[in-house]
Amino acid sequence: MAPKKVSVGAALGNGLAAATRGLIRATSWIFGQVASRSGNALADFRARPEHSRWRAYALISYFMVVAATLAGQLYTDNVLSAYVRVQRVELPAMTQIFVRNDSGKSWRDVRIVLNGIYQYRTEEVIPGGHVMLPVNKFAIRDQLGKPTFAPRSIAPKTLLVDTSGGRYETEFRE
């Protein structure tokens, strides 16, 4: 019988396959050793009494991070659930302040203070209700109760919504 002729490509492919099998065997043996050693080390670690203590520390730390994150997400300084917006109108040139009660409770004894000076008072704002005022409806009252109204050209900088149930203050940006 005549010897088989093997092409160079086939011989190269067979050599590459043999090298790959050898590499697989070597890495399997190495990682098998690592796995058995790490398994033994893990079993020794679990057998020690401080293992449960470290696990408890890890879980407590994890829950503290989760609680702090949740508290940060749920915190709001707007306890009244007030929505406040400044509306500038071109004709006639004026600025209006819009305040809406987005909470589920009525606001009672409502005092709205513009720029820390001018005030507007109303008895109640129902849930979903709103107050929309031009800035010249805010006033300073003297001891006799005589109002001095804010000028139409005043630029709103801060607004305080003060009720019997809480307060909310915001600053406006130009």
55-71 residue pLDDT tens: 888 999 999 999 999 99
**DSSP single-letter state for residue 154:** P
pLDDT digit string, tens, across residues 6-27? 676 677 778 888 888 888 888 8
Q: Residue 161 pLDDT more than 90?
A: yes
Please indicate, yes or no, whether residues 158 and 87 belong to a single structural domain of this protein: yes
Please indicate, yes or no, whether residues 68 and 116 belong to a single structural domain of this protein: no
Q: Residue 4 pLDDT more than 70?
A: no
Phi-psi region of 101 (alpha: psi -120 to 50; beta: other; left: phi over 0): beta
Please indicate, yes or no, whether residues 114 and 167 belong to a single structural domain of this protein: yes
Q: Per the domain annotation, does 102 fall within a domain?
A: yes
- At residue 100 the predicted structure's pLDDT band, cuts being 50, 70 and 90, is very high
Of 74, 92, 126, the last residue of a domain is: 74
Please indicate, yes or no, whether residues 64 and 90 belong to a single structural domain of this protein: no
Q: What is the pLDDT of residue 43?
A: 77
pLDDT digit string, tens, across residues 114-143? 999 999 999 999 999 999 999 999 999 998
Q: Region 71-97: what's the mean pLDDT?
A: 88
Spatial separation of the C-alpha atoms in residues 127 and 170, rounded to whole Å: 20
Q: What is the pLDDT of residue 1?
A: 59
- At residue 31 the predicted structure's pLDDT band, cuts being 50, 70 and 90, is confident
Spatial separation of the C-alpha atoms in residues 167 and 52, rounded to whole Å: 48
Total-model pTM: 0.59
Q: What is the pLDDT of residue 63?
A: 95
Spatial separation of the C-alpha atoms in residues 108 and 127, rounded to whole Å: 11
- Counting the structural domains of the chain, the total is 2
Q: Per the domain annotation, does 61 fall within a domain?
A: yes
What's the domain range around 126? 82-171
Please indicate, yes or no, whether residues 86 and 126 belong to a single structural domain of this protein: yes
Q: What is the pLDDT of residue 2?
A: 59
- Strand pairing partners for 139? 119, 149
Please indicate, yes or no, whether residues 167 and 86 belong to a single structural domain of this protein: yes
Please indicate, yes or no, whether residues 47 and 104 belong to a single structural domain of this protein: no
Please indicate, yes or no, whether residues 94 and 15 belong to a single structural domain of this protein: no
- Tell me, rounded to whole angstroms, the distance of Cα 86 from its chain centroid: 25
Please indicate, yes or no, whether residues 57 and 120 belong to a single structural domain of this protein: no
- At residue 5 the predicted structure's pLDDT band, cuts being 50, 70 and 90, is low
Summary mean pLDDT of the chain: 87
Please indicate, yes or no, whether residues 38 and 113 belong to a single structural domain of this protein: no
Report the CATH number at residue 128. 2.60.40
- Tell whether omega for the bond before 92 is within 30 degrees of 0, i.e. cis: yes
